[in-house]
Amino acid sequence: MPDHSPPQDARLAAALAAVGRRLRLLRALRGAVLGIWVGLAVGLAWVLAGKLGLVGDPLPDAWMPWAAVLAASILAGAAVSSLRPLPGLEELALLLDRLLGTDEAAVTAVGLPSEDAPADLVEALQQRLDEGLDPADPRIAAGLRFVPPRRTRLLPILVVALVGALFLPPLVGPGRHAPSDDPAAEAERLVERRSALERELGAELPAEVDQAFDDLISALRAGEAGRERAEKKAEELERALDTMKKGSGEAVAGDMEKASEALQDVDVEAAEDVEDASKEGDLEAAAEAVERMRERMKTRPPQEQEKAADALKKAAEEAAEAGADELADALQNEADRAQGGESEPSGGGGEKDGTNPSPGLPGESPDAGGRPGEAPPQGGQEGGDGLAEYLRDLDAQGLGAALGDAKTNREMANRMQAALDGLGQNPYEAAEGQPEQGRGRGGGKGGGGWGAGTTHTDEDQGSRPEGDQHRVMNRQVDGLHRDWLTEYGQDHEAKRLEGIQAVTQTVDVPIGDGPVDVEFMRRTGSSERSAGSLVQAPEGYREAADEAIEGEGVPRIYREQVKTYFDAIE
Amino acid sequence: MSDPTTAFQEKFRRLQAEVGKVIVGQEQVVEDVLIALAAHGHVLLEGVPGLGKTLLVRSLAQALKLDFSRVQFTPDLMPADIIGTHLLVDDPDGGRRLEFRRGPVFTQVLLADEINRATPKTQSALLEAMAEGSVTTGGTRHELPGPFFVLATQNPLEMEGTYPLPEAQLDRFFSKVLVPFPTLDELGGIIDRTTGVEAPEAQPVLDAADLIEMQQTVRRVLLADPVKRYGLSIVLGTHPSGDGSTAAAARWLRYGASPRGAQAIILGARVRALLDGRPQVGFDDVEQAALPALRHRVLLNFEAEGEGLSADDVVAQVLDEVPRPLGAAA
């Protein structure tokens, strides 16, 4: 845009100045309106924060600071807007022309070159401008109307929202939020908070956490701690509690696995039930499964009961070695119960209904008959808590949910590890080093490494071939029958293979008619994901056709035919 | 000092009135043709046969007291039939020499009647004459008499036996004026004037000098930068891609207008400003000048033709899209 010098004509200059002043005034008004908008928005946020207990003094109690913010917003908006530099002379002249309807006479006048302008036409222009220009003409001042900023159309909504929010009840209870500055009140609030935590947990807080709460409450009551410190400390305690619960969940998950493994040699059905229940985080169901096992145990021959007791004892010893003392005790007691079932008809203290076997024989186990100092089991039976009671005790501590989380985390970790193990393995190494890997592991499966194919399976022979190569082949072929849906998904998770090496080897195996050709394929390049999987290809074609039709601008009357053509290609 | 705008207006109206004595109705067509003449531009008149296109051009030549030639374009017309040809003539001294025999292009007002009935080769024979006001043949350049105008008529392309004009040829026309079919009243007037004993004829009211003076006045009309930028934005807005392209152009046009289009818009706007008695060009002048200046300079794409859109429709959309610089918002 060329730089224009002030017009020579004083009337034009005065008119442009009047337009400039009016423009500045209107801008200040717009800025003030924006300031109102901002102030109301701050007020609304303030009210909502007060309802949420995030600020100490919500509106309307704290109207003074808010009014100050509102006033400051208005003043700042007006000042900033009015101080913005005015547009150039050309822009002002265009505005003047629009106001006066002078057909761009003003903008032509301010843009006239100082020389070479045709004098006769310049004179004609000046005459024309004089007819329309009068600085005292109110049209110049009044022509420019105030246009509110677009976003201020929301002002009424904002006002209604603000008023409505003022009448809202507090969105959170005073127990957790809206802390006061009074330490004594804060102490009472902490007491409520501790009770709420205990209710949530379903058990008493751990001793160290409980003690910390007590100390804090005492400090508050004695005026030795402020509100902020109390709030911070309480949050730390809650976090510590969460961490403890998570740690307990991990430990319980480990115990449950051990228990399930121990029961494998005792009662397979109970072992499966316990495993399923632990996956669900349902400790009560696990306890019931153990009780059902006890019922079944009573109907078994003495030899089997003896064998089960031995297995449980062995598991108890292993648990003790692993540091799970409580589980070890429970398993030991369960072993005693199993043996007690055998001797129930002659055992002392046992009930005829058999719901609780009598304690084990003295001298068989140091823990037989229950731990010293513990109350006897319900029903007046002697002996310590068994596995069912141990599980119920854990459940009472609210560790069922933590157990579920821990299980989930552990399973996910196992799956990820299996997936990682399956990447890039050489089948020979895998066969030698990990001959019995589980599902999802091993070379040739998953995304990389080796793959093999053959025309025979060892299932045809009904026997397992010997030798490393045979094991490799066997494992690959097994994989084909494992989970065809998973295989299909993996195969169609499209990958671009670059640099494939295929090696065909003849393997002398005693199956079928003799040697079997096995082709190993090795991908030497790195894998790279394609833009989409195979199953997305038809849809991709359709979208490409639609885009082509849109992009080429096919006339409407031909579009159907063009679409038919693309459909035919597809 | 006399107001040049008033003098221009007076001459223009006198010429318009004289032509109006012969041509019934078609006021807008007459005004558009006169605007092109005042801007020293060539005009392409398009309309079905029998609408008085030829009569308009002949009347204009008569009213301006200019030399007038008419060439009826046919499929077998050759370039030499327009420009002229070298003839072998006998010298008085017994020898022979080649002598250039001037064609009908050597005139001041050339009526190229039904120009789209000739082949493109013959149509292109007018390129140099229209752009530079001269003809080159046999290595010799021949200046045409000034002022030189080509007023071409063409039938709509849908009619059989026509050849579309090459883009280079089209670009040399200042404006394209569509001749509509007359209304019932106008048709009655035509019958009254042409079936009587005496057919009216235009009388000379201006001469070549007057016309040249008008053309010089046009070029001195004041033009503000924002107005000029608006005109150029319209031209850029007709391009389907690039800076300043509009959505209408991107969707419906294959090619946009050339810089000659911008020249035509500004000159046309200057004439319109003078006709309104103003020494300066306004945005309205530019907008009014855009349609006749651009409708033959834009090339519709296949989709626009399939949708039945005309160049006028698309240019109107472009004009809607290009914003006027209206000054700082309050």
Interface of A with B in 28-67 (CB under 8 A): 30
Is A558 within 8 Å of chain B by CB? yes
Q: pLDDT confidence of A365, banded at 50, 70, 90?
A: very low
Q: State how far residue A111 is from chain B, nearest Cα, in angstroms.
A: 6
Q: Which residue has the tokens 């222009």?
A: A125
Paired with A117 in beta bridges are none
At residue A452, the pLDDT reads: 40
Q: Which amino acid is at A528?
A: E
At residue B86, the pLDDT reads: 87
For residue A217, give both structure tokens: 């409450």
Is A119 within 8 Å of chain B by CB? yes
Residues in chain A: 570
Partner residue opposite B226 with nearest CB, options A94, A118, A556: A94
At residue B322, the pLDDT reads: 93
Could you report the per-residue pLDDT of A36-47, keeping only the tens digit for each? 888 888 888 888
At residue B158, the pLDDT reads: 59
Q: Which helix (H) or strand (E) holds A521?
A: strand A516-523
Low-confidence ranges of chain B (pLDDT < 50): 329-330
At residue B283, the pLDDT reads: 92
> Is the previous residue joined to B147 through a cis bond, with omega within 30 degrees of 0?
yes
SS3 A519: strand
At residue A501, the pLDDT reads: 54
Domains located in chain B, CATH noted: 1-219 (3.40.50.300), 221-323 (1.10.8.80)
At residue B33, the pLDDT reads: 93
At residue A222, the pLDDT reads: 78
Q: Is the distance from CB of A135 to CB of A108 less than 8 angstroms?
A: no
Q: Is the distance from CB of A181 to CB of A227 less than 8 angstroms?
A: yes
Is A478 within 8 Å of chain B by CB? no
- CA B273 to CA B5: how far, in whole Å? 9
A117–B330 C-beta distance less than 8 A: no
At residue A508, the pLDDT reads: 55
For residue B92, give both structure tokens: 């008085």
For residue B6, give both structure tokens: 């008033």
Could you report the per-residue pLDDT of A383-441, keeping only the tens digit for each? 567 888 888 887 776 666 656 555 555 554 454 444 334 433 433 333 333 333 333 33
Interface of B with A in 259-318 (CB under 8 A): 276, 278-284, 301-303, 305-307
> Could you tell me which of B44, B75, B73, B88 has the C-alpha nearest to residue B179?
B44
Higher pLDDT, B216 or A107: B216
Interface of A with B in 124-183 (CB under 8 A): 124-125, 128, 144-147
pTM reported for the whole predicted model = 0.53
For residue A3, give both structure tokens: 């730089």
Q: How far is CA A469 from CA A53, A427, A502, A514, B122, in A?
A: 70, 9, 16, 15, 87
Interface of B with A in 218-237 (CB under 8 A): 220-227
Over residues A143-157, the mean pLDDT reads 76
Minimal-distance CA residue of chain B relative to A93: B327
Could you report the per-residue pLDDT of A331-354, keeping only the tens digit for each? 888 888 777 644 343 333 333 343
At residue B186, the pLDDT reads: 83
At residue A68, the pLDDT reads: 85
At residue A485, the pLDDT reads: 56
Q: How large a percentage of chain A has pLDDT more than 70?
A: 53
At residue A259, the pLDDT reads: 74
B4–A555 C-beta distance less than 8 A: no
Is A121 within 8 Å of chain B by CB? yes
For residue A117, pLDDT beyond 70: yes
Could you report the per-residue pLDDT of A430-486, keeping only the tens digit for each? 333 333 333 333 333 333 333 443 333 333 333 334 444 444 444 444 444 445 556
